[in-house]
Structure 1
């Protein structure tokens, strides 16, 4: 990742020995933040004197301070061999960690503790070893995501920090450079844009940012655009001019009528000697997130947020706290619309340098930090995530091996295989029961489909063949209600569980399964008796037996399906006892049945209990037990229909 995201950190050097003029030149370059030049100068000294401590120290620090700590390893190795110290061993451990030489890194961190009594230093060394241990268990945050180098866009220089806004793709690039950034020897960067649609970018139409002119001889990077498109904020710094600002700062440009204003230094920077960069807006545009090395933080660079003020500027910056921020560096914030917060860090447990992380609140209200895993992160810098369709696709930046140049832009997509779709096409046939004849087609019956939550999903009238067709989902429960004037309405449960093939066995993207079911409606005729089958009582008793309750539940459902009817429920005896006995027994049995139905939620006013004794025999002079059973029956009839 480009050095201008790290502040100018000056180290006091004691330069002694030969090659006085080269050392003075290299020292000036180092103290000016021209780390690449210092590396070149002190490299000449090492060619003549490989064991020169000062040269090894300056080159090691120059690589570290220009974010190339993996290249500092041989120089720190020389330092710990000749002049061991906590700083040398600790930074050697960081170098090994960046190379994913975790065993060597742990050894270096452990040895660093022998050269200090400062408990904060010791705690930091142990935190690094703990981070390496935690990194061993990192898995992919999102499965089946594919990361691809955007080869058509990337150049041999730096290309990074892309965002999209209003059908445009904005990014930082070293193309069309106007000078060399002396800290790492790379070209200065500018802001560019091209038309885009999702991940599709018009790479042939890339142009320098037209809203305002890119300045020459400095770095302009990490653009953020407000959700309404009226505010542009970006980082600007590392100028060659001694009259310019001494440190990287945030600048803002505002849309005013005919165009954007010239960028101005933002008050949220607070101090010109503080490093501020990598801005991002909240989804509603009311909060500005950014990275800063201002005093009072938890490490080198921390993440902050500032709220929008009445004048449209941002202020009252607040540190995001020690759960996100570490003694390392955190930057490139990216708040998501669902409340998740993405960022880059080299201090959280990761693979060595900057990794991408997400902070989210779990069910217990705790903020959990998760590494996005090997699909997104490498041993090099991985940073600046943005989304074109959250969270399915977007961009990141990385200087991992195999890229086109320094930092490259990569796009990612969710490649999870689309689930095989199974549609259940249910044919519901409505029929009417005709005594002594096969069930006949019932046209123009109203058929309504309800889901498991009793929400209506569909409904229609049966056609000339008595059919209504619904589309259902696999492994779901439904209720179907059929009704027609002059007929008892009927509701029936229906399930698709176990009636469709396993999607994993399917080849086609869409499979239609056709099923049939039939609902038979009975005519609703006033005072017509309907026998309830299988309603049995123990001898000389009126208690409702469990088997009788199951049959009465069917009548309960009829009453629920037909809320406008009132019925008489009657009990009949055979002719083998006295009239008085049979009248009393059948009345008690009828009342017992009514009481059970009321207990199931039916209004008692809709029910009349009537015991007819043996006065309505179906078979006169019954002789066999079967004939007596026909006479010993329970019936109901509709006695009233409310309109």
Structure 2
């Protein structure tokens, strides 16, 4: 009897202890002390692993303290005990945050079967669509490499670095006093170190000197105005009933040689709203931040406030449905080109927070995931460019870090393009009377690109040589000129004359090519025969083949805009003088009209028909000899000033 009474007493004592521990954990949960609640309910689960209430509170405590990846085993217990939409939906989120996408899809599909609520159905559809689009995500910066800043990080949390006036400022738990009961981590403070871009003086990290960090508070997520005169940061999580109940934005201003004590900003509006992660626009006239204020899309949304006449920020507006989702959007960064970078767990991503970029288009914002070389299944957030868009910092609690949240730096490692130089050796020559060619020194050669832009020019040496450096796969032209010679345009193409860059081994490859430009002497009254100018019998019409040859004369006239020419037509000795004179005149005039139609001033052209009065071969007998006499010529009759 005494043994039974003793056993009953032990049961009552144990039940009372469990009830007391359960009540303690519940109070801790309701107070937002999630890590303490986890500790309490874990003790209950050691003796009763299937305790539904304890599993619920541990799962929710991990979720609400942003550690949902640790909650899956507890949500699994809940769905085994009772199938509800909430438990399956949260279970799916916890699996997704670990990169277990197939298992997460099954959980979300089950959740969808357990609700008729349209809003819940939409949330599930968004999660499923996000998973299905994971494989479609591409690197926004294909050659960006991310590295843990091992020498800067600690075993605690280090995150949200910003760069200003030679210093990097960041949030850290490294020397903070007291433990924040929601996470079990020390309270955060703001620190700084000298930096040159992403190169930080890690040996001399100090608490920020502009104003004092407060003990027993989380403070961080700092923003500094472009002029360096305003500091805005988030402050909250006080355990004092006399303090503000939520996280809010505070501002310190540079006045009289120093910074003022931080003051609560009116843009917070309501003391029960959460406001954090501030960022300035490049001109300092707009403040971006995250808030859970009324009227949002759900979770945390991004807002933009405008600087007022008194220097405060007000009139905060929600950035809208293209940016904000039912999930959380935070840690904005506005780039110099207007692109908006931010972290989100609502847009299609890998698990928890990913970093996204929003670009303005004619249809509003277009949001893109930065891709797998930036984001992971863990939290990735707080991007800040020190040299946009080549390098900067970001924060992450990805696997392999030094502590919880770590600071990472990234650099663009785009491989330098292999350079191909086309070295064109040009030789300038003149054509002699006997048809031979000799070097023509001191000839000016001007180079033009395919848009007819002058890109260089020089005189050939005494040996008639000069060199141009050209780009591969382009069209060029050169105009060579020298007093006493016809100027001449020569086209030159490098298309297909160089190897493919991907086949190159050396960083710089020089391809040497050669060409020759031959000029003809410009002698007044000296006749020059135009080859292959043919006419149909007894006609003066310009045939297509004749037009092709006349185009060469057109180019000569364009290259030499100060010359006037006589264009003459000659016949053979057959037929009468009057007939040949008239025919040759018509042919000469027809040629002149064609040349004028190509843009040459008519006043520079004199047509002349000589009939058979200037035969080259007297008493021609063969058709070949007659053809020599039937010719078209031109001669320069004047060089105008």
TM-score above 0.5, yes or no: yes
Paired residue secondary structure (2:526): coil
Structure 1 match to 2:48: 49
Q: Could you say what secondary structure the match of 1:156 adopts?
A: coil
Say which of 622, 627, 630 aligns to 1:629.
627
**Matched ranges for 1:86-105 at <5 A:** 86-105=85-104
- Check whether the contact 2:323–2:365 (CA below 8 A) recurs between aligned residues: no
Check conservation: 2:177, 2:187, Cα contact below 8 A.
yes
CA distance in 1, matches of 2:271, 2:487: 80
- Deviation digits for residues 605-624 of structure 1, max 9, x if unmatched? 22121111111122222222
Alpha-carbon distance in 1 for matches of 2:431, 2:283: 63
The worse-fitting range, judged by mean Cα deviation, of 576-585 and 408-417 is: 408-417
What is aligned with 2:487? 489
Rounded to whole Å, the distance in 2 between the matches of 1:103 and 1:162 is: 35
1:433-582 to 2 correspondence within 5 Å?
433-436=431-434, 438-582=436-580
Q: Counterpart of 2:133 in 1: which secondary structure? A: helix
- 1:404 paired with 2:393, answer no
Residue pairs, 1:88-127, within 5 angstroms: 88-127=87-126
Say whether 1:279 aligns with 2:278.
yes
CA distance in 2 between counterparts of 1:507 and 1:482 reads: 36
> Shift of the alpha carbon at 1:245?
1.5
Judged with a 3 Å threshold, the aligned counterparts in structure 2 of structure 1 residues 571 and 153 are, in CA distance, closer, same or farther, namely same
Partner Cα distance (1:521, 1:312) in 2 = 73
Q: What is the match of residue 594 of structure 2?
A: 596
Aligned equivalents of 1:283, 1:429: Cα separation in 2: 55
Query: What's the counterpart of residue 260 of structure 2?
Result: 261
- Map of 1:4 onto structure 2: none
Partner deviation per Cα, 1:341-367 (whole Å, 9 max, x = no partner): 2111111111111011122245x6453
- Judged with a 3 Å threshold, the aligned counterparts in structure 2 of structure 1 residues 488 and 256 are, in CA distance, closer, same or farther, namely farther
Moved more, 155-164 or 455-464: 455-464
1:607 aligns with 2:635: no
**Aligned partners of 1:228, 1:472: CA distance in 2, in Å?**
45
Give, in whole Å, the separation in 1 of the partners of 2:188 and 2:222. 12
Give the gaps of 5 or more residues in structure 2.
1-14
- Name the CA distance, whole Å, in 1 between partners of 2:485 and 2:261: 79
Q: Which moved more, 1:78-87 or 1:573-582?
A: 78-87
Counterpart CA distance in 2 for 1:247 and 1:461 is 77
Task: Please say if 1:40 is aligned against 2:34.
Answer: no
Quick one: distance in 1 between partners of 2:501 and 2:134? 36
The 3 A distance-change label for structure 1 pair 314 and 366 is closer
Give the stretch that moved more between structures: 316-325 or 388-397. 388-397
- Deviation, 1:401, is 0.8
Moved more, 285-294 or 73-82: 73-82
What per-residue deviation string (whole Å, max 9, x for no partner) do you get for residues 231-251 of structure 1?
Answer: 222111112332222111112
- Within 2, Cα distance between the matches of 1:636 and 1:167? 74
1:551-581: per-residue Cα shift (whole Å, max 9, x none)? 1111111111112222111101111111111
In the alignment, is residue 210 of structure 1 matched against residue 212 of structure 2?
no
Tell me the CA shift for residue 188 of structure 1.
1.2
Structure 1 residues 443-479: Cα deviation after superposition (integer angstroms, max 9, x where no partner): 3322211111111111222222222222111111111
- Secondary structure of the structure 1 residue equivalent to 2:109: helix
Task: State the partner residue of 2:239.
Answer: 240
Cα deviation digits, residues 302-344 of structure 1 (max 9, x gap): 1111122222222211111111111000111122222322111
Q: Does the alignment pair 1:167 with 2:166? A: yes
Compute the displacement of 1:525 (Å).
2.3
Q: Which residue of 1 aligns with 2:130?
A: 131
What is the Cα deviation at residue 262 of structure 1?
Answer: 2.0
C-alpha separation in 1, matches of 2:315 and 2:19: 49
CA RMSD, Structure 1 to Structure 2 (Å): 1.8
CA drift at 1:114: 4.0
Q: CA separation of 1:437/1:611 partners in 2, compared to 1, >3 Å: closer, same or farther?
A: closer
Range 252-261 or range 625-634, more displaced: 252-261
- Name the residue aligned to 1:319: 318
CA contact (8 A) 2:566 2:634 kept: yes
Q: What SS does the aligned partner of 1:612 have?
A: strand
In structure 2, distance between residues paired with 1:303 and 1:366: 16
Q: Report the alpha carbon displacement of residue 20 of structure 1 after superposing the two structures with TM.
A: 2.5
1:116-138 CA distance string (max 9 Å, x none): 33211122122211221122322
Residue 4 (structure 2) aligns with: none
Q: What's 2:429 paired with?
A: 431
CA positional deviation for 1:413: 2.0
Separation in 2, partners of 1:114, 1:440: 92
- For residues 458 and 264 of structure 1, the distance between their equivalents in structure 2, rounded to whole angstroms, comes to 62
Give the equivalent residue in structure 1 for 2:413: 415
What is the distance in 2 between the residues matched to 1:308 and 1:488? Answer: 69
Structure 1 window deviating more from structure 2 (139-148 vs 351-360): it is 139-148
- Give the Å deviation of 1:257: 4.2
What TM-score do the two structures reach when normalised by structure 1?
A: 0.94
What's the counterpart of residue 185 of structure 1? 184
Between the aligned partners of 2:256 and 2:579, the Cα distance in structure 1 is 100
Residue 353 (structure 1) aligns with:
352
Give the Cα–Cα distance (whole angstroms) in 2 for the partners of residues 313 and 429 of structure 1.
Answer: 71
Superposition pairs of residues 295-374 of structure 1, within 5 angstroms: 295-361=294-360, 365=363, 367-374=365-372
* Partner secondary structure for residue 625 of structure 2: helix
Partner of 1:8: none
Task: Report what 1:13 is aligned to.
Answer: none
Tell me what 1:228 maps to.
227
Secondary structure of the residue that 1:343 maps to in structure 2? Answer: strand
SS in 2 for 1:19: helix
Give the drift of 1:111: 2.4
**Alpha-carbon deviation of 1:25?**
1.9
Q: Separation in 2 of the partners of 1:149 and 1:284? A: 31
Alpha-carbon distance between aligned partners in 2 of 1:111 and 1:244, rounded to the nearest angstrom: 44
Match of 1:252 in 2: 251
Calculate the TM-score normalised by the size of structure 2: 0.94
Q: C-alpha distance in 2, partners of 1:524/1:205?
A: 78
